[in-house]
Chains A and B, each alone.
Chain A
């Protein structure tokens, strides 16, 4: 149990570090680095905790990304930076790189295998499983992070038109 918690914390801390690394690549303002780290940490914690409780990776990515999307709007008003600064870097560590790699590996093997080999069916299975998991994770993180932002944005637009 203790070991699992330490492992979870370790992975979450690395998620936070990855978020900050990408934030620096995107040149985020210096004052927001700490906030981005904690958001990346929180996103990793939520995602891997749910995976530990046997929730599917697609659903757990959606929940973690929605958390980032929902919290970045009030945070933007508090720290005075637009929400994109907080919402994009923390979800980058959720990109399903390993599934993309597995998909590519299977496609490559499939292409170079001679016709009639029964293993081709196994490879088709791998291509579909990994490819669609990757696709659904990508869709769920983009929906999770952008939908709350779009829903909460109406307010500021209205204020602006009234002016």
Chain B
């Protein structure tokens, strides 16, 4: 295999890895770190430009100094910490045991095919999280039940909307509206001791926590542009949530 071919394959693999990291919710520093680790295991140097929508990568062979540049569009975002964890582990092993290109590719194919938790488990777990939130904000067990049901239906709407490829912000709005509508019924009939807590917590499963925290760490790492993009994205999501809550509260005249 000549150097050009090797560089081309390396660039493709590194781009696949970094775009998977990006959509899984890694911050910019972690992507650059993984790129550097894999590249140094393959006797190359990688220079990258990571943006929200596309990746630009140049790999340089250390011996011949030949270069190869390629651009890749980033696919749909879906947070997945298992992937980040597996790629991080693979990058350490690659560095320690001097993995070859084919070995890294094999490992990456295994990581790509890993499944997520089944939808119903996610639904139940997140609904329990919603109930837990309600307890944290001083709701009693009736309020927690309301929060559980609202979160369950809101998340179900979100999952269905994502399955039908509806625009993300509209999906968030629909989910937020559905969840707060159900919780508003609890406030309207004054169920439990603290029905407002159920309404306030019913939409919290939509909060873009990962985007906002990554935006902040990007700012601290001097990746200002990426941080701004993540922040703007997170703010848009928060606005969609607020709009859904607002419409539901307006319908029930909860002043």
Q: Chain A residues in contact with chain B, CB under 8 A?
A: 10-11, 14-29, 32, 44, 80-82, 84-85, 88, 91-93, 95, 97-98, 100-102, 104-105, 108-109, 112, 138, 142-143, 145-147, 149-150, 153, 156-157, 160, 163
Q: A93-B136, A149-B217 are in contact. Are A22 and B30 (CB under 8 A)?
A: no
Interchain CB contact under 8 A, A104 and B242: yes
Cβ of A108: which chain B residues have Cβ within 8 Å of it? Answer: 246, 249-250, 255
- A109 and B249 alpha carbons, distance in the complex (Å): 11
Contact with A along B77-108 (1 / 0, CB 8 A): 00111111110110000010000000000000
Q: Chain B residues in contact with chain A, CB under 8 A?
A: 25-27, 29-30, 33, 36-37, 40, 79-86, 88-89, 95, 116-117, 121-122, 125-133, 135-137, 196-197, 199-201, 203-205, 207, 209-210, 212-213, 216-217, 220-221, 242, 245-246, 249-250, 254-255
By Cβ-Cβ distance, the 3 closest A-B pairs, closest first, are A21-B129, A101-B200, A18-B132
Q: A101-B196, A112-B255 are in contact. Are A80 and B204 (CB under 8 A)?
A: no
Interchain CB contact under 8 A, B213 and A93: no
Apart from A84-B84, A93-B129, A104-B249, list 15 A-B contacts with CB within 8 A: A14-B132, A20-B125, A23-B81, A25-B122, A25-B126, A27-B83, A82-B85, A85-B81, A98-B197, A101-B245, A104-B246, A105-B249, A112-B255, A156-B33, A160-B36
Q: Which of A29, A138, A150, A163 contacts B40 (CB 8 A)?
A: A163
**Nearest chain-B residue to A16 (Cβ)?**
B132
- A101 and B83 alpha carbons, distance in the complex (Å): 34
- A100 and B242 alpha carbons, distance in the complex (Å): 9
- A145 and B215 alpha carbons, distance in the complex (Å): 13
- A28 and B25 alpha carbons, distance in the complex (Å): 12
Total A-B residue contacts, Cβ distance less than 8 Å: 156
- A95 and B203 alpha carbons, distance in the complex (Å): 12
Cβ of B203: which chain A residues have Cβ within 8 Å of it? Answer: 97
Selected A-B contacts with CB under 8 Å, 19 pairs? A14-B132, A16-B132, A20-B129, A21-B126, A22-B209, A24-B125, A27-B83, A27-B116, A27-B117, A28-B82, A29-B81, A29-B82, A84-B26, A84-B30, A93-B136, A97-B207, A104-B242, A109-B255, A156-B33
- A21 and B209 alpha carbons, distance in the complex (Å): 14
A130 CB to nearest chain B CB (Å): 11
Q: A92-B209, A108-B255 are in contact. Are A14 and B131 (CB under 8 A)?
A: yes
B221 CB to nearest chain A CB (Å): 7
B196 CB to nearest chain A CB (Å): 7
Interchain CB contact under 8 A, B85 and A14: no
Interchain CB contact under 8 A, B122 and A24: yes
Cβ of B122: which chain A residues have Cβ within 8 Å of it? Answer: 24-25
- A18 and B204 alpha carbons, distance in the complex (Å): 11
Cβ of B136: which chain A residues have Cβ within 8 Å of it? Answer: 11, 14-15, 18, 44, 93
- A138 and B238 alpha carbons, distance in the complex (Å): 13
B14 CB to nearest chain A CB (Å): 15
Interchain CB contact under 8 A, A101 and B79: no
Cβ of A23: which chain B residues have Cβ within 8 Å of it? Answer: 81
Interchain CB contact under 8 A, A21 and B210: no
Cβ of B128: which chain A residues have Cβ within 8 Å of it? Answer: 17-18, 21
